[in-house]
Structure formats: structure tokens, C-alpha cells
């Protein structure tokens, strides 16, 4: 699968009086941090950043174009206004193919509907996992197949799609529980109350 892409703009090419002015114009300030090198401030189109994060999260290798130079990075962190849903700042970490990178990846669930039937509910206990690898081995997704719970009681980190990949190290105990099936129970008292008629209005 092709890596997601971001076009970065040199802050010198789009001089704003302050960050607020840039945000009003739809450009999010950011910094590309590089070990031993000078940091590079930039702007990125907010719509492009929002689309990338909603689609891939922060655990994918991103192809960035900065001053017509192509390189690869990961989104290290970002700031977002929770009330307005506006992105305020983003930090990128360049990738060196000769250096391992650590990142926290969301765990995706496949075939959830296959097990959530007949009062069964998938209870997820671990939502993400820290992994380490060289950039060329970064996975497109970290996931597990919920249908395995039709044959076993629990899903652990050892059941993730990347667990058997020798090029990716899971930085946690492989016996850590990721998900289990629980059964919803409705008491007779609740059922009786549900069958009682509901009176609307003011009682005399």
C-alpha cells in the first residue's frame, strides 16, 4: 500500500503575523525535529492533516514534501482544540532507515460482528501497543481477528497480525489480554419494568 503524503510549506514562504493568523487561513504550524540537525518549522494544510490522521492515525510512515525534497517521517504528536475540532500544531520526526523507531499503534479489530451475537459483547481491554522496528518494516496496520474468539476465550498480544513478524518487536508482554467475550445479562426485574405501561403527563 502506498504511504500517505503530506505537502509541507516553508514558513518563510507564507509569512503570517502569528499562529492564529495562519490557522484562520487553514494552515497548521508544525516543526520537523531531527536528531543532531536544526529543526525545520513549516505549515501544513489543515484539511490534509485532518484527513491523514482520521484515516491512518499517527503510526504510519508519511511521505513528506518539503521545499521539493521528499523524505519520510512519522507524526510524533499534535495539538487539537477539543471544542472546535481544530488542529493547532503538529510535530514530525524524520525517519532514518538505519535507525529503529518506536511508536504506539492503535489495534484494529476485524470481524467484530461475527462474535457479537446472541447477547455476546466484545470487551476490549488493550487498545494500542508500543512497537519497535526499522522504518522499512513499519506495518500498515496492527490488528486481530475477533473470529478467533469463537474457538478461544481471550485474544492476547500474541494473536496480533504482527506478533510472528521477526522484524517487528512488541514492547509488552505477549500474554497481555487484548479482548474477551462477555455476555450481557438482563434481570427479570428489569424485564418486568420494561413491560409496565408508561404514563405520560401529570398524575392527579
Confidence of residue 188 (pLDDT cuts 50, 70, 90): very low
pTM of structure: 0.78
Helix H, strand E, coil C: the string for the chain is CCCCEEEEEEHHHCCCCCHHHHHHCCEEEEEECCCCCCCEEEEEEHHHHHHHHHHHCCCCCEEEEECCEEEEEEEEEEEEECCCCEEEEEEEEECCCCCCEEEEEEEEEECHHHCCCCCEEEEECCCEEEEEECHHHCCCCEEEEHHHHHCCCEEEHHHCCCCCCCCCEECCCCCCEEEEEEECCCCHHHHHHHHCCCCCCCCC
- CATH fold of 102-188 reads RNA Polymerase Alpha Subunit; Chain A, domain 2 (2.170.120)
**Average pLDDT of the residues in 20-41:** 88
pLDDT value of position 58: 87
Nearest residue to 58 via CA among 121, 24, 122, 103: 103
Residue 184 has pLDDT above 80, yes or no: no
Q: Note whether 5-95 and 102-188 share their fold.
A: no
Confidence band of 1 (pLDDT split at 50, 70, 90) = low
Q: State yes or no: pLDDT of 34 exceeds 80.
A: no
Q: Which fold has domain 5-95?
A: Ribosomal Protein L25; Chain P (2.40.240)
**Sheet strands side by side (includes 169-170):** 142-145, 101-110, 128-133, 169-170
DSSP β-ladder status, 86-94 and 177-183: unpaired
Question: pLDDT grade, residue 156 (50/70/90)?
Answer: very high
Domain range list for the chain: 5-95, 102-188
Residue 203 has pLDDT above 90, yes or no: no
* pLDDT tens digits along 102-111: 999 999 999 9
Model confidence at 199, pLDDT cuts 50, 70, 90, reads very low
What percentage of the chain exceeds 90 in pLDDT? Answer: 70
Amino acid at each position: 500500500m502506498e504511504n500517505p503524503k503530506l505537502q509541507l510549506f516553508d514558513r518563510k514562504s507564507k509569512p503570517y503575523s502569528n499562529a492564529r493568523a495562519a490557522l484562520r487561513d487553514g494552515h497548521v504550524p508544525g516543526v520537523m525535529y531531527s536528531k543532531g540537525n536544526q529543526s525545520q518549522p513549516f505549515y501544513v494544510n489543515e484539511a490534509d492533516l485532518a484527513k491523514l490522521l482520521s484515516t491512518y492515525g499517527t503510526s504510519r510512515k508519511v511521505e513528506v514534501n518539503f521545499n521539493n525534497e521528499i523524505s519520510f517521517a512519522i507524526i510524533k504528536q499534535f495539538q487539537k482544540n477539543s471544542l472546535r475540532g481544530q488542529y493547532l500544531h503538529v510535530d514530525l520526526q524524520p525517519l532514518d532507515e538505519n535507525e529503529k523507531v518506536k511508536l504506539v499503534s492503535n489495534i484494529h479489530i476485524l470481524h467484530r460482528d461475527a462474535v457479537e451475537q446472541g447477547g455476546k459483547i466484545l470487551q476490549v481491554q488493550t487498545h494500542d501497543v508500543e512497537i519497535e522496528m526499522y522504518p522499512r518494516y513499519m506495518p500498515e496496520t496492527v490488528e486481530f481477528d475477533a473470529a478467533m474468539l469463537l474457538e478461544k476465550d481471550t485474544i492476547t498480544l500474541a494473536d496480533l497480525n504482527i506478533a510472528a513478524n521477526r522484524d517487528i518487536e512488541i514492547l509488552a508482554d505477549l500474554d497481555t489480554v487484548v479482548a474477551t467475550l462477555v455476555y450481557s445479562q438482563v434481570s427479570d426485574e428489569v424485564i418486568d419494568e420494561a413491560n409496565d405501561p408508561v404514563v405520560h403527563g401529570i398524575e392527579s
